[in-house]
Chain A
């Protein structure tokens, strides 16, 4: 079956009325949580997990994909109108977009963000359509050693890239790995780190960790350092549209943003922060009037917004083809696949084509829906910010409790929610990134399983781990990712005065 045939079959699935409705639900929900503070796409999908259990996996993933894409659109609206990026990928948008809004150009900023997101999201989805089947073919040669190497690469890159310090990135990763080994060891049947508590013999649920670290940690942190400044939403008058001049200045940054965002999104730990930053730097350098940057340059909104949406499409590639999550949201989606007993990877394309292609087709449809939802309706979404903060955060806690209590109605799990929430609070107090912990928790069991398999095949010889060029190559890249910053750090320490900042 050619890619085009497969995609057409996908559209046949995605265009079914119920699936269109799910896509719309996901997109609307995604936009809403992108606008609201305190709740992001990873947490939303986690909280949806218990609800979607009763649905077909295709319907569930159409919703999840809508949430994932929609959060990027919603995040840009708040970045522009109140200078609070709802998502980390929208941080750069806040820089220029908010300045534009203050200069009375809010409508143009919103328009270039939404249209750019649509253009780049569609380009990204097209690239995903072409790249995914090809990469999944390559993945067929992956054995245990390659999968182990891939997991190690994901671990190191996630810890190095996310957050302010490698050391703290690694702390987060190994905290996640420690949680991952909890429970009964599958090979020997021995309990590990269960402290004699029977509820822990199945390990600690991913949902609990996610809800605790993201929602409860945030609720505690914001409550302890509550900002007393009222939010100021900048009013936008007139229709949300762009002038001819705005179009002329926007289209190239959109395309360049898409070109940067997609490949970086595909890479382990590429995420959406780096491409947006790169796109911003590139646009400033290429601009004929770089002095406008920092005072509301439309290129500085168009490029990064395009880049972050293309990166989201890129993140789907390793997730669908290798089962490798490269962002917190992708990690949750992997957990969702596992809930359905599905293993993303090369076989998914042959065993569940209607799911994979249905979801990919729904990404095209979702992008179009999001353009319609966001362009004329941006003002309506902003109204969500009128929800008083006390009720917003209390509401988030209620949904978190549903998510955890709904699993097995056990007070032990509620206690774990509280304790991990306090740890999540501690992470925020010391700027320890949370995503590496999730990647460690979700990929940890896979890494251990594949390592054991590889060693069993190699009769215990550790050299078997580097015997194939792919595995060796992946491990070398992983080692370089860790070593290069370390060498740089030592070099700067030698050349500079002995003042130490937290590296």
Chain B
């Protein structure tokens, strides 16, 4: 495994992702804690206490993880149904799926849930190896529309069907 890590600089770098991420989160909390009162008259502890404590622990955890990485630890991915963790990560698969997750943020409010959902649907099916984008958009539109009608009937507010058209 060490040989494999050495031959992929990107992989060697990615091992630092977890400790660095934890340290950044810890720093954010510690920074926030400086603006909050730590104590409060009679209650002993104030709003800042928990933030400070969590920030300190996260920083300590980040340092401990960093130490593990320095000593050669590798954080292996988790066994997941349908995934082959022996394969290298596919950026195309990841980014296509991520597009399906992030595009609806702007779309749903503008064009309504069914159409925004259809776009998300088509990107996910593409990421999972489907080669029929047009059919997938149509299927996605049908499923999102049925979902929209069913949930609206059940009392869940999902906005207009197609706001630009005034529906």
Contact = CB atoms under 8 A, between A and B. Distances in A.
Contacts of A181: 50-51, 54
Contact of A216 (B50, B87, B101, B140): B101
B37 to A, nearest CB: 7
Interface string B103-139: 0111011000100110011101111111000001001
B77 A223 contact: no
Contacts of A3: none
Contacts of A426: 17-18, 21
Contacts of B157: 406, 409
Interface in A189-226: 190, 192-193, 216, 218-226
Interface string A427-438: 011111000000
A174 B47 contact: no
Given A402-B158, A456-B42, A226 B120 contact: no
Given A188-B37, A397-B120, A174 B57 contact: yes
Contact of B108 (A227, A390, A414): A414
A482 to B, nearest CB: 12
A384 interface: no
Interface in B65-107: 65, 68, 71-78, 80-85, 87, 89-91, 93-94, 96-98, 100-102, 104-106
A301 B113 CA distance: 45
A414 B140 CA distance: 19
Contacts of B84: 225-229
A178 B128 contact: no
Contacts of A389: 82, 128-129
Size bin of chain A's contact surface: 35 or more
A448 interface: yes
A218 B82 CA distance: 10
B155 A54 contact: yes
A416 B58 CA distance: 21
A431 B75 contact: yes
B34 interface: no
B94 A220 contact: yes
Nearest to A391: B125
B81 A417 contact: no
Given A224-B97, A460-B42, A50 B156 contact: yes
Given A181-B54, A389-B128, A422 B155 contact: no
B2 to A, nearest CB: 11
B166 interface: no
Nearest to A84: B81
Given A167-B64, A390-B136, A426-B18, A192 B51 contact: yes
Contact of A405 (B42, B73, B85, B159): B159
B97 A220 contact: yes
B5 interface: no
B39 to A, nearest CB: 8
A237 interface: no
A223 B80 contact: no
A492 to B, nearest CB: 14
A395 B144 CA distance: 9
A455 B121 contact: no
A225 B82 CA distance: 9
Interface in A390-429: 390-391, 393-395, 397-399, 401-402, 405-406, 409, 411, 414-415, 417-418, 421-422, 425-426, 428-429
Tell me what chain A mostly uses at the interface: helix, strand, loop, or mixed: helix
B156 A390 contact: no
Contact of B80 (A218, A229, A430): A218
B33 to A, nearest CB: 9
B139 to A, nearest CB: 7
B14 to A, nearest CB: 8
Interface in A263-304: none
A395 to B, nearest CB: 6
A84, A220, A223, A414: most-surrounded residue (chain B CB, <10 A): A223
A390 B128 contact: yes
B3 interface: no
B50 A409 contact: no
Contacts of A455: 43-45
Nearest to B21: A426
B18 to A, nearest CB: 5
B43 A227 contact: no
B73 A501 contact: yes
A428 B85 CA distance: 10
A53 interface: yes
Nearest to A427: B78
Contacts of B40: 187-188
A459 interface: yes
Interface in A430-462: 430-432, 444, 448, 451-452, 455-456, 458-462
A53 B155 contact: yes
Contacts of B139: 391
Contact of B121 (A168, A175, A397, A451): A397
Given A51-B156, A53-B155, A397-B120, A456 B44 contact: yes
Contact of A460 (B37, B43, B68): B43
Contacts of B155: 53-54
Q: Which 8 A-B pairs have the closest CB atoms?
A: A460-B44, A455-B44, A223-B97, A390-B128, A390-B125, A430-B75, A185-B47, A394-B124
7 contacts: A193-B32, A220-B98, A222-B128, A227-B84, A398-B147, A429-B17, A502-B73
Given A390-B127, A428-B78, A459-B44, 17 more contacts: A167-B68, A178-B29, A187-B40, A188-B46, A223-B90, A225-B83, A226-B82, A390-B125, A390-B128, A397-B124, A398-B117, A402-B147, A409-B158, A426-B18, A429-B75, A429-B78, A431-B78
